[in-house]
């Protein structure tokens, strides 16, 4: 009964949020609409973070890497290929997936905090490369004046903030829907099982590293697609869009929204990013401080998933084992304790 009530409540909230997102461009000014479009792109990166952190149990600070790869691929390569946004989207997703695939060997055998450190390093490396590779990326000045695009062949160019926002909204809705559909198949079942007890999954004969690799690449593709949305939304891209603060914000958003829920992650990331943008206006100069405090408070106060044991970082991020050993195991009969 309670589960059903929660499900109904969730569905209601989802419908309300969707309705608000559809109506937003007619109720707020153009600047806010542009900001919202960018926030949606970040929300989609949040979905990819949730896929890794909550669903597959790999807490990540490095999803800005495929996000950046997608954005630059879209701006540099996509613009040369075509003016159709869907082509850009595919190019960006492929770039994000390719980058994620290249880093698979680094993450697939690590778990918990170690993944956090490795992904952080990957994210920072990519931002550094983007900042230095001036001939292609424009260096720290970024690429300005990315030409406007049309959503699909035959439609007019996305000339207004409202049109760009609605395009981003449609893409996000479709991609999140696709992710949710896939998670309802046995793929989702295997991922949840792996998060619960990976050793048991191996003992049943599943190729766990292969599962992790596939999720990592898929999350890279989603983040790459988000990069394309960012370029469409602000027609400009620079390394400042992919800094460490963005990774940290996304992780915070995903944790706030409930790491195991894809929709919750989207909403959480959107709320946190919108909160940051709002704080920039209200408390100039203090926004990072407030968000840092929010992070600390969240880490200490937020209750974890009901099924998980309380205590330790594990309650916050299900993917973080409380001890390096991962899952608790009974001492062997020949207890050497």
Does residue number 303 form part of the binding site for other proteins (CB under 8 A)? no
Q: Which member of 307, 311, 324, 325 binds other proteins (CB under 8 A)? A: 307
Outline where 184-261 has alpha helix (H): 186-196, 198-203, 208-234, 244-257
Q: Which member of 17, 173, 206, 294 binds other proteins (CB under 8 A)? A: 206
Span near other proteins by CB under 8 A; candidates 91-99, 164-172, 190-198, 239-247: 190-198
User: In the chain, what are the helix, strand and coil shares in percent, each to the nearest 5?
Assistant: 70, 0, 25
Which of these, 146, 110, 116, lies nearest to 326 by C-alpha position? 110
Cα 171 from chain centroid (whole Å): 15
User: At closest approach, how far in Å is the CB of 109 from other proteins?
Assistant: 12
8 Å CB contact between 165 and 27: no
Token pair for residue 299?
């880490």
Does residue number 193 form part of the binding site for other proteins (CB under 8 A)? yes
Outline where 235-301 has alpha helix (H): 244-257, 262-282, 287-301
Span near other proteins by CB under 8 A; candidates 78-86, 110-118, 123-131, 195-203: 195-203
HSE value, Cβ hemisphere, 13 Å, CA-based, for 104 = 18
Does residue number 315 form part of the binding site for other proteins (CB under 8 A)? no
Cβ proximity to other proteins, 7 vs 202, nearer residue: 202
Does residue number 337 form part of the binding site for other proteins (CB under 8 A)? no
Does residue number 237 form part of the binding site for other proteins (CB under 8 A)? no
Residues 127-186 that bind other proteins (CB under 8 A): 185-186
Q: Which member of 22, 125, 189, 297 binds other proteins (CB under 8 A)? A: 189
Angle (nearest 5°) at CA 22 between 20 and 23 = 65
Beta pairing partners, 61: none
User: At closest approach, how far in Å is the CB of 267 from other proteins?
Assistant: 21
Cβ proximity to other proteins, 135 vs 204, nearer residue: 204
Strand, coil or helix: what is 210? helix
Does residue number 80 form part of the binding site for other proteins (CB under 8 A)? no
Span near other proteins by CB under 8 A; candidates 43-51, 133-141, 203-211, 292-300: 203-211
Does residue number 7 form part of the binding site for other proteins (CB under 8 A)? no
Span near other proteins by CB under 8 A; candidates 65-73, 87-95, 272-280, 328-336: 328-336
**Residue in the block written with tokens 């919202």:** 36
Does residue number 333 form part of the binding site for other proteins (CB under 8 A)? yes
Torsion angle, alpha carbons of 45, 172, 79, 162, to 10: -120
Residues that bind other proteins (CB under 8 A): 185-186, 189-190, 192-193, 195-197, 199-208, 305, 307, 330, 332-336
């Amino acid at each position: 009964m309670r589960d059903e009530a929660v499900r109904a409540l969730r569905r209601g909230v989802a419908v309300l949020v969707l309705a608000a997102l559809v109506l937003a461009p007619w109720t707020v000014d153009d600047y806010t609409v542009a900001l919202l479009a960018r926030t949606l792109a970040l929300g989609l990166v949040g979905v990819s973070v949730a896929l890794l952190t909550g669903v597959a149990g790999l807490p990540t600070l490095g999803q800005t890497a495929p996000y950046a790869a997608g954005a630059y691929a879209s701006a540099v390569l996509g613009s040369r290929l075509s003016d159709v946004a869907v082509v850009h989207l595919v190019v960006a997703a492929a770039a994000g997936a390719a980058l994620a695939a290249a880093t698979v060997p680094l993450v697939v055998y690590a778990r918990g905090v170690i993944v956090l450190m490795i992904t952080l390093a990957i994210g920072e490396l990519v931002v550094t490369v983007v900042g230095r590779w001036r001939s292609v990326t424009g260096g720290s000045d970024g690429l300005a004046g990315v030409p406007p695009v049309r959503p699909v062949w035959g439609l007019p160019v996305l000339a207004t903030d409202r049109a760009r926002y609605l395009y981003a909204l449609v893409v996000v809705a479709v991609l999140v829907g696709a992710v949710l559909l896939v998670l309802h198949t046995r793929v989702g079942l295997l991922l949840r099982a792996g998060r619960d007890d990976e050793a048991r999954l191996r003992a049943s004969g599943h190729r766990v590293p292969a599962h992790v690799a596939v999720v990592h690449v898929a999350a890279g593709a989603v983040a790459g697609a988000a990069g394309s949305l960012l370029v469409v939304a602000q027609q400009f891209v620079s390394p400042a869009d992919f800094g460490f603060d963005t990774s940290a914000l996304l992780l915070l958003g995903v944790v706030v929204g409930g790491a195991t829920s894809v929709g919750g992650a989207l909403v959480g990331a959107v709320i946190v990013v919108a909160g940051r943008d709002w704080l920039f206006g209200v408390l100039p100069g203090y926004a990072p401080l407030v968000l840092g405090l929010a992070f600390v408070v969240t880490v200490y106060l937020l209750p974890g998933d009901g099924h998980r044991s309380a205590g330790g970082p594990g309650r916050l991020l299900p993917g973080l084992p409380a001890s390096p050993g991962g899952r608790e195991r009974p001492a062997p009969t020949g207890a050497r304790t």
